[in-house]
Amino acid sequence: MNVTPKLVIGNWKMNGLREASLQLATAVAEGARSLPDDVRMVICPPFTQLDRVAEALEGAGASLMLGAQDCHTAVSGAHTGDISAEMLADTGVRYVLLGHSERRQAHGENDALIRQKVQAAEAAGLIPVVCIGETMAERQDGRAATVLASQIDGSLTDNFNGVLAYEPVWAIGSGVTPSREELERTLLLLRGLLQSRLKMDDIRVPILYGGSVTPAQAPTILSIGVLGGVLVGSASLEARSFLRIAEAASLRLSSQPLSGPYRS
């Protein structure tokens, strides 16, 4: 039976100088070699470290791929400080994060802009990872489902064939995660919204969870059958913790004690 690999994406955010980035990427690449083929890893470093990390990932194949944290809507032009999707693809990037809550909040990005970025990423052959999620106020007001539906409807293209990442804003960096039951309900809601929005079988659109994912929490989170993987923030900045999360994502390893240098 073919099993769709779980996706474990590490978002380094604005962290990493040259030597430390190379050491971290190299350590992750070495550990990824021992992972079964039912898990895929992606590293999303800052733009300045893409070339450096790409060197460390050479020869890793599909088990460990390069990602980026954002892209511009245009192919080229007078956009000082921006990076196009084509530039990312030229560097060896396969995945690109779009619509992260930190971009939505700190840079005022809205759904319409994110959809344009998705179109640019798709045109360049990249796999867009679109982030959505509700704030604490929206959650407490009972508007979470409405907000998520609006973000899906506004951010995704009609023939979207990327990845959806659910990151409740209230959980990011807080150390707090939804209960297993609450998360499972939300994931089922998202699958229904995807099917309605895309008007097709949504099985091809993996849904990830992100928001203070740690090695300790990962086994419980990843045991939810509908979940396609996780988007990891601070825990991806240390090879041991990131690889432990990847091991938890593997069906072949999650039922066994963790082995090797990444066991507890």
pLDDT tens figures, 84-117: 999 999 999 999 999 999 999 999 999 999 999 9
Contact between 161 and 122 under an 8 Å Cβ cutoff? The reply is yes
Whole-model pTM: value is 0.93
Q: Which residue has the higher pLDDT, 260 or 3?
A: 3
Domain membership flag for residue 184: yes
pLDDT digits over 200-228, tens only? 665 689 999 998 899 999 999 999 989 99
Mean pLDDT, rounded, for 240-260: 76
* Alpha-carbon distances of 31 from 25, 52, 144, 159, rounded to whole Å: 10, 18, 38, 35
Domain membership flag for residue 127: yes
Model pLDDT, residue 150: 97
Domain membership flag for residue 263: no
Which helix (H) or strand (E) element contains residue 184? helix 180-198
Q: Which of 86, 100, 138, 247 is catalytic?
A: 100
Model pLDDT, residue 171: 83
Does the structure show a pLDDT above 90 at 174?
Answer: no
Q: Which of 109, 134, 138, 167 is catalytic?
A: 167
Q: What percent of the chain stands above pLDDT 90?
A: 79
Model pLDDT, residue 264: 28
Model pLDDT, residue 262: 29
Among the ranges given (132-136, 144-148, 237-241, 249-253), the one the predictor scored with the smallest mean pLDDT: 249-253
Model pLDDT, residue 59: 87
Q: What is the DSSP letter of 133?
A: -
Pairing of strands 207-210, 95-98: unpaired
Q: What CATH number does residue 85 fall under? A: 3.20.20.70
Q: Is 13 annotated as a binding residue?
A: yes
Q: Which two tokens stand for residue 116?
A: 């344009």
Structurally, how many domains does the chain consist of? 1
Q: Is 58 a catalytic residue?
A: no
Instruction: Compute CA 96 distance to the chain's CA centroid, rounded to the nearest angstrom.
Output: 8
Model pLDDT, residue 124: 98
Domain membership flag for residue 261: no
Does the structure show a pLDDT above 90 at 185?
Answer: yes
- Polymer length of the chain: 264
Domain membership flag for residue 144: yes
Mean pLDDT, rounded, for 227-246: 97
Model pLDDT, residue 4: 84
φ and ψ at residue 29, rounded to 5 degrees? -60, -40
Domain membership flag for residue 260: no
Domain membership flag for residue 195: yes
Domain ranges, residue 57: 6-255
Q: Is 100 a catalytic residue?
A: yes
Domain membership flag for residue 97: yes
Q: Is 170 annotated as a binding residue?
A: no
pLDDT band at 12 (very low <50, low <70, confident <90, very high): very high
φ and ψ at residue 222, rounded to 5 degrees? -75, -5
Q: What is the mean pLDDT of the chain?
A: 91
Model pLDDT, residue 200: 66
Q: Is 117 annotated as a binding residue?
A: no
Does the structure show a pLDDT above 60 at 260?
Answer: no
Alpha helices, DSSP H, located in 43-157: 50-57, 85-91, 101-106, 111-123, 136-140, 144-155
Q: What is the DSSP letter of 39?
A: E
Q: What is the DSSP letter of 5?
A: P
Does the structure show a pLDDT above 50 at 29?
Answer: yes
